[in-house]
Amino acid sequence: MHRENTHALQTRRLSHAFGIEIEGLDLREAQSDATIAEVRRLWNENGIVLLRGQQITPGHLIAFSRRFGELDLHETLKAFRHPDHPELFVLSTIPVEGKPSVSENVGRHWHSDMSYTLCPPLGSIFHAQILPDVGGDTMFCSTQAAYDALSPKMKQVIEGLEAVHNYMDVENMKRRDPALVAQLREANPPIAQPLVRTHAETGKKCLYLSEQMTRRIVGMHEKESAPLMRMLFEHCVDPLYTYRHKWAKNDIIMWDNRSTMHLALADFDAGAHRYCMRTTILGKPSGYVWKGQ
């Protein structure tokens, strides 16, 4: 197995196209500015970073995450927040007071976190704590690698186009409590975002779309938009540009929302439990509220 040492950080590639594991870091310990800078460089270059065996508290996760930027307090997603830490977005299948968890079906489609907002996140840092015996995997794809592989002519065609990101188009909205859906609709209007984004730190271009939330191009009807959006989405999730992660307890994955998408698979038994927490690092303002053609 190939390993390499980069500025005292032991690393291992996760897939052909993207992703890297950093070995030997313990997030219960204070990390130097130089170490954080190197983690950030590796994260920017590889899209996702895996850190295994992190037996940490919510406080540790929040403190580590803050080294990379200001954290989102999830004001538009209050139903999913940790009761004691608004910086933490909870993803759980464990019932609460006899009712299904509001987040039990979250992330069951390819997406980049909160792309439907006016300040899409720079990245997310996800800590797996309770896992099913089998399954519960997460798929990742590199939208940077997918963009790079497009033909020069297709890059010309899509340059300057904007796609509408509508959170209410997500299929699992149909299974959520109507009162919650109404709250989410009020807080999250459709947002037009560039179909091609330039990564602020690497300068590389990446596709910016979602399996369910991006159904049209600004200035086109949905029927006209569909063939192009379908082709680009299917291209992004080609196995050449994907990585499937089999979680172990206390794994952390840092994913770059500017250059990757991910999908939480429901590939585990009904009644099996999964409990994870995520921080969301704020990015730069992008897009505008879309009010129709």
Whether 232 has a pLDDT exceeding 90, the answer reads yes
Write down the pLDDT at residue 243: 98
Using 50, 70 and 90 to split pLDDT, how confident is the model at 96?
confident
**Overall average pLDDT of the 32-58 stretch:** 97
Q: What is the mean pLDDT of the chain?
A: 92
Question: For the chain, what is the total number of helices (H) and then of strands (E)?
Answer: 6, 17
Q: Which residue has the tokens 């291992």?
A: 12
Write down the pLDDT at residue 173: 74
Whether 76 has a pLDDT exceeding 80, the answer reads no
pTM > 0.85: yes
**Overall average pLDDT of the 54-70 stretch:** 97
Using 50, 70 and 90 to split pLDDT, how confident is the model at 7?
low
% pLDDT > 70, the chain: 97
Whether 287 has a pLDDT exceeding 50, the answer reads yes
Domain count for the chain: 1
Whether 6 has a pLDDT exceeding 60, the answer reads no
Write down the pLDDT at residue 293: 64
Whether 89 has a pLDDT exceeding 90, the answer reads yes
Using 50, 70 and 90 to split pLDDT, how confident is the model at 121?
very high
DSSP E strand stretches across the chain: 4-6, 9-13, 20-23, 48-51, 89-92, 123-130, 138-142, 162-165, 191-194, 196-198, 205-207, 214-217, 242-245, 252-256, 260-264, 275-281, 288-289
Task: Walk across the sheet containing 89-92 and list its strands.
Answer: 4-6, 9-13, 20-23, 48-51, 252-256, 123-130, 275-281, 89-92
Domain of residue 147 covers: 4-289
**Overall average pLDDT of the 11-26 stretch:** 97
Whether 193 has a pLDDT exceeding 70, the answer reads yes
Using 50, 70 and 90 to split pLDDT, how confident is the model at 3?
very low
**Overall average pLDDT of the 11-22 stretch:** 97
Write down the pLDDT at residue 39: 98
List the structure tokens of 6: 């980069």
Distance CA 265, CA 169 (A): 19
CATH of the domain at 229: 3.60.130.10
How are beta strands 214-217 and 162-165 bridged, if at all?
Answer: antiparallel
Residue 182: other Cβ atoms inside 10 A? 10
Using 50, 70 and 90 to split pLDDT, how confident is the model at 5?
very low
Whether 244 has a pLDDT exceeding 90, the answer reads yes
Whether 115 has a pLDDT exceeding 90, the answer reads yes
**Overall average pLDDT of the 96-111 stretch:** 85
Using 50, 70 and 90 to split pLDDT, how confident is the model at 179?
confident
**Overall average pLDDT of the 121-127 stretch:** 97
Q: Is 206 exposed, middle or buried (0-12, 13-18, 19+ CB in 10 A)?
A: buried
Positions marked catalytic? 111, 113, 262, 278
